Structure 1
């Protein structure tokens, strides 16, 4: 029964639709044929009118030539009777603006509108004079110009003046009649019914002499070779039809054209395709008024019988859609939990590694002076391995969002422009960098170093995905509404996109691209931490990162960051060193790791500092209550007993503002914002000489410009 009902429903729609389509097809061709007949009648009228004008102008110029036969140019210029004769002819022709006689040197010697012509106007730059001087062009119709005397739009009809020795081909100046554009505009405006139809006068080479309606500053000087009229002219067609999109207003029109034989001019009449379609649609609406109710009644009866079956199908579809949505949400939740667990795991491992690396580098630095010369190369190898381990732990901490950061307000577009040279040097010669940075503020609050590392990692990944070269597009823009996953700080969001034209990734690879240590590169070509560092940077900055990719279609990495309304703040003035301080610099080193504490203290003592120690932040505060005569406090960030290095720095700044604080950690679940310019961070791992140099830089008095 259901199959029968479906077949009846299909037939009740299909049969009337097919019949209606056949009627519509036949009616459309009938409307087009009727339109073409009417357009041909109109263009015939326009042809007769324009042909008569050109014939009249030619006869007028011939009569002026006969009147001045045998006269020298000086005689013509002094002859008032010649002027009166030309004026009489001019007054009889409303389409003619002026009749002129121009000598071989290009000077106007007689005008129908003025006598005498003083001073003579030089028209050597006009097209009609150049053409007639080169060869006898017969009755030549020039390009449209603005009259020097009338200041009105016109095009000129010219012919050579007969030579003094007869028609021997010698150039003896020209006779010119200027045809008013306004005359044709007024006449054609009465012909047009007032819609979007158009009438044009076009020279055989495509120069548009006149067009109605006229659109200021939009008329093309010449039709393109691909225009339908130009193609018909190239075939030698004297009349016909063609369809074309106007170069002036972009309207799709059907055109009828006819050549004004023997003159090299065409007149065209264009009808908008929308008006043809509107006529056809009105006919179809009339037909549909009768056909639609019967069809709807038949469909309604059949649909009523199928309502219950459809309801059941819709319910089943909704249930399946809910199942798919739930599975999608569960997959997203599992992915989020996996990334969070990986972040916590890698953060803890990297934190412990940083302490071990700090102790190893410090002891290596202390041991270096005591090794004999042959052992120096082994020492360099060990130091290189530790530096690579340092870079690896930094990438792990960036992914886990537990790296010590110093967020600052920066303009993303300005930061990207500052990286231009670095990125250009990072890609090969067969790869082009395209920039698309929107103007306007794009302020975000991020760690500038992490931002630079993230952009560099993305560009290097894009480079490696294009072994045969290609294009990398770097774009940024501000958006009003933050997308899901971006903190809403009331200022919208800023989106950074880096797209390549490389090999792309299949869906299963794109889904794991942010996982740490996941890489598709060959052994030794990558650690798999580049994209995970980008993901960690985005999440730690309050934003999110996403990948769109498909095999053979390139990859787009989109990093969305919360925008901020803050302006880049000026650095706070650095406290001055204690006046009159003498003797060695006193340091308080706060570190809960015994290996790091031992190596750090030994290195600082060798650097000439006086050092006291505390195992944790609470012990440091107790010591400061008894003795606060320290110049600098060097403290780890993550410590036990409820007082972290950041807590210690804040309390020292409030209670002992004279003392400066140097935090030494690569792991920080807290933000360093607001600690001031007298609190700086030295990421672990480091060597004693690096720590000593940072302490001395911190104690150096601020320079006043």
Structure 2
């Protein structure tokens, strides 16, 4: 081969047809390139361009968050002081009002107050009516009975003798000077009461003067203080020292009546703190707050102002998004420039490496090309050798059968040895055809319901001790026609894969069931099938691995652990059997392999019905067989065996001659009505000439008088084509006993239909 001049490679260009390159010394010298230093420099720049903006944004974001929290804390402190002053003025005014009422009733007992109720009512109405926060002013006796009120005259009959605030004031509990929020008996609305004790002339407890305050008044003030909107990020609350809520803004539909007893605010009150700031989650409005609190004078009341942290975070996120957008937009452009520089550097390095390795790459390609041609030639050679070896086995097999049928004595030991050698030769041929991918399938009808249980030990050996095996052969599964050896190999391949997918143990389940595919289901197959499901509980397959599971030579196992031919063998076996294989799998969910094998029609035994008046025949007559075989010794042995079986044999050595015989016979039949001279055609497939055995079978079956045809071959691809012809197919070397049974079946068929000359003219 003349070497081509070297042409510097372009990016991605590599010619598989390049001629042998010149020696390496003839290539121009290429200066060394330190790509690693350049790559490290660019990567360092890229890392800096990423980290520095990120660090800056993180620092600015943290600073902004702390500033916002500090501003929120300061705002709550300022607001709570205003609310405290307001509450203090209200409570001081109420205390002054209570004192004036006590002065008004001084020296009067309960009966005296009732006697002057009209006068007192007017004065109470005048005192309390000028304050919007006051809902009612009432005077109660020593037993809690209502004596006078600013709202009603005459006063209704009612008593607060059992109410907490009345009992607390009577017993000297200072906290109950301010009651919880309630629906007032006198005011008739939501109020909380501020009461003081009345004493008799002797200093004993004489009753209570109570001023009912409206929580809505405080709510309105807090609304105005916080900006007049329910969407404000701040909250205001007026609470007793025990946490009971007196007023709150903004209101929520399901707010709690009291603050949680284990909150940071409750702990601060228990410690006696009069003012401060805590961070807590409020059970009143369900949000996390920065909460400032202050004690209102000497009253058992605190005023609280909280800032929602969710509002702080929302504002912080908005600011952060603007910061990120303004900071990273130019940074992304810089990243892209550096990334493109890295890719360009990679392309330069790849081109440089191709420049350096061009000679060795060309030699490798030429070597691989030659190896591929060798393997292709080897496959053809192996197929041819196997075919010729099959013919030799056929010669030996037929002659052994001839000797046995002639009953030659004293040779039993020698014949048995020859038969054992025949079996070894058949196994060797099968292996050779497997290497050449030309192995024909030896199909037989199989009932999985009976066969699967016999495979238990075989599968256990493949799965190992850690994996449990479950076999469910189903009930009344249909028979299927398969090559049993190939089916066993498929089960072993799947079991080995399942074992590798379950290194810590698991379960492997084999199930058989009948299934029918219809055209409208959209499945690539239609008809009756037996579904053989093999499921494991292993690690499963990723989608990219699952997509290539049936691809020849593809494997995910470590080098030396798998060939990548296991699942492809399963797929090829199912397709060769007329079915299909499918896989379902997901990572962590195990794998399910389903084999769909076509249903085999059960062959019923054909009996000869008795016919009235028919002449009894002792046995079917021998067949007139046209034997087509190009190997003279195979033809001679087969012809002798057929004659010993009682058949008449006409032998020709190629399909062209056989077809001419049929053409002549059909021409005579058309002229004279003479029947065809043959009952059966027994032909090899691979023969010299224009036609092979399959062409001959198609031509014979195309005549109006269809004759049974038996084809013999040793090639798998010929078997695939032969299955599409209405002919029986035997793979070499075939069993003589199987051929004899097949001929007996054809004899019975012809004898049974012998009275119908239109169907079997050869029997006329």
Give the TM-score band, short-chain normalised. Answer: 0.3 to 0.5
TM-score where L is the length of structure 1:
0.45
TM-score where L is the length of structure 2:
0.42
**Greater C-alpha Rg:** 2
